[in-house]
Amino acid sequence: MLAVTSEVSKGNMASLFNFYNVRQKVLRFVCPKFLILPQIMIEKWKEKSKWRKRRNKLLDTVQLPERGRVLDLSCGDGQFLELVHLSRPILGLVGVDISEEKIKDAQKEYGWGSFAVKNAGSLSFPNKSFDTIFCNMSLHHYDEPIKMLSEAGRVLKENGNMYIMDLFPKNKISQAVYNLRGCNDDCHFEKYYTLQEFKKTISVANLKMNKAVLLSLLPRLMLLELKLNLAS
């Protein structure tokens, strides 16, 4: 009887030991997933919250028209135009982006706007179509910014405003650091411009800088207000 009990005990111990080993392997595999996933979600939420605050600050700074049409270049999934719509529902809002997926999301989510897949450097809108144009955190993506700026100048009304929000490093050293770091999204990254560089670029596109507002120091986020250079 004692021998039988001893064998049973050995069998139970072996089973428990095997269970423990399997459990440890499962925990080592699963727990990091459960630990990492919430962290990723938190970081994404923080990032979205940060840019939403900056976009709200942008809207507090710009001068929206009472009536008319607004164009958002590289509009993504339309979240910025949603803020414009909530602020001024009467405006006609148009968003363009080269991403078919993001435009489909915008079309599905926001029935009040017009969203289309277009290249900002080759717009199909008539001359002088828009009262206000936004280029929100996308300047650093363009490999040919002059084309985008020239097209923006073409479709902008004579008394209209173009607003560009982006990071503008103060000098060549900080520019090298910013460019080395790049951006956080998966889109093509070209470069960040110093303000001096950008002034030369817009002059070629028949635009002039009317105002430059520093929105944050680190990173050096700026809002530029551009107008047509009617004197040229």
Confidence category of residue 2, pLDDT binned at 50, 70, 90 = very low
CB contact at 8 A, 74 and 95:
no
Radius of gyration (Cα) for the chain, nearest Å?
A: 27
Q: List % helix, strand, coil for the chain (3-state, nearest 5).
A: 50, 20, 30
pLDDT of residue 177: 95
Question: Domain limits at 23?
Answer: 1-43
Closest Cα partner for 192 from 205, 209, 212, 177? 177
Predicted TM-score (pTM) of the model is 0.78
For the chain, give the mean pLDDT.
84
Query: What is the rounded distance in angstroms from the CA atom of residue 202 to the CA atom of residue 150?
Result: 8
For the stretch 44-98, pLDDT in tens is 554 556 666 777 788 888 989 999 999 999 999 999 999 999 999 999 999 999 9
Domain count within the chain: 2
DSSP symbol at 230: T
For the stretch 200-226, pLDDT in tens is 999 889 999 999 999 999 899 999 999
Pair (4, 115) in one structural domain: no
**Dihedral sign (CA 124, 127, 132, 133):** positive
Per-residue H/E/C for 179-204: HHHCCCCCCCCCCCCCHHHHHHHHHH
- Is 56 part of a structural domain of the chain? no
Pair (71, 39) in one structural domain: no
**Res. 22: pLDDT tops 90:** no
pLDDT of residue 106: 97
Confidence category of residue 164, pLDDT binned at 50, 70, 90 = very high
